[in-house]
Homo-oligomer: A and B are copies of this chain.
């Protein structure tokens, strides 16, 4: 149980503050996470790792020479936002590109992929690699669907050492991919963990039983079995991993024996004896094993075993020196304090280039966001109730949080001289950063994409109200739709905001093509979005209770499409 905290909302942030204070020699705080305090060899590929909090030493405990340049730190068991990842990656990029690596969970995939795309758009070479080592979470045929667990450490260590050795981004990425492909983990859980502020555990395992293959956030395992002697447990773990020994594997392996939090050191060292014997009996050479708490889940009880089948190059990087709060190999690595950098992000450039028309439009965006925010606050509890029927009930809260943050950011951007692109981009970033979840990431990054699709110089050349502005609006919402489709990995009628967004963009484009004013076209398109959202509401085969829901909610069981239609309608009223 998690018992030491102040306000649960601040738990992850306060934990990082404390970590950085204790390890100031290694770590410096930056927005979104932590970066190395020490200098980095100029022209080195930056290795940025990350994920949710609650897994220390993953991920911030692994920042330092020879390992990661930075760690992005999300909330407890939650992906960091795209904006956190961007902030951290920009802070450590030094001209040679950025390797992003993280465990394979939907939220992390979404945000790290979005960040990768945006870094590239900014001219920063970036590659993102999801670690997929948990053999319980999918079959070997579906390797890319496996979750990432303790194998993170091996992949990050090898990538970090490769970057330190001066390899270029493609080479570092190739090694990280190779390390991931060679890495397999299997674990058991004896008891669940309790989220800060909660009184009951996130999940439970019956007394005397163990959840075989249970995930570090309580994701379903493969079986429940009685707790067994350590020798049998060792055999269970080793046998399962040896069963997936790659055909090409040599006999040298990196080995991690990981405790999840409440399964303690003596237990791990004791288990190690049997694990080692079995691996050696299988003819394997163990290379620099790590036995301890590597990826925890708060106070969860359980253990996992990780094997990485080494080739000569992987072994060189696995055994290379590293000097971080939680992992140290070899002697120290000399560094000097880092020189702080002036901020020269894309936002600054956008602010400097905005003309008067664009600035006027930015002011209207703020007014529009004010109306939308007010409307969302009115509807927050309805959206929450709608979401609660089939989801976790937080959709209303997520929308108001995101929109409030967007409004505040747009206001601040306008005050500091931004035009429409800058204000909308800032609004989108703030939304994604604060709202959280898939919906927040897609909303915010969609708005950001919409901003980038605008052409500031054309806005200035023609003035507001002209056809080109309407055409730019079409291009802008189409860009948002494309982003949501690409990264949301959903189709129309999958009960997502796409159910309303796709018909909206189609109708807007048709009306503008027909010569309608932007205000008129937008109203008609918003009406189409509402209609379509309602029409698809009762049709989805994906949610069992959708017919009941369709009646109770007057045809709006899809909270994502509903809230989008609501926002589009309100924005239309503001345009008129």
| A interface, CB within 8 angstroms of B | 1-6, 11-12, 14-19, 21-22, 53-54, 56-57, 61, 76, 190-191, 210, 227, 229-231, 233, 261-274, 276, 289, 291, 293, 296, 298-299, 301, 303, 328, 330-332
Contacts and interface: CB of A to CB of B under 8 A. Distances in A.
B265 A56 contact: yes
A332 B18 CA distance: 26
A11 B267 CA distance: 8
A231 B6 contact: yes
B263 A3 contact: yes
A270 B328 contact: no
Contacts of A298: 264, 266
Contact of A265 (B269, B273, B296): B296
B4 A230 contact: yes
A364 B56 CA distance: 62
Query: Which 9 A-B pairs give the minimum distances between C-beta atoms?
Result: A18-B269, A4-B267, A56-B265, A18-B272, A15-B266, A331-B332, A19-B269, A14-B270, A262-B262
23 contacts: A2-B266, A3-B190, A3-B227, A3-B263, A3-B301, A4-B271, A5-B270, A6-B230, A6-B231, A6-B274, A11-B266, A14-B230, A15-B267, A15-B270, A16-B269, A18-B269, A18-B271, A18-B276, A22-B269, A22-B289, A22-B291, A56-B266, A57-B265
Contacts of A191: 1
A266 B193 CA distance: 13
Contact of A5 (B14, B54, B190, B230): B230
Instruction: Name the prevailing secondary structure of the A interface residues.
Output: mixed
B301 A17 contact: no
Contacts of A293: 265
A262 B229 contact: no
B21 A270 contact: no
Contact of A12 (B266, B268, B291): B266
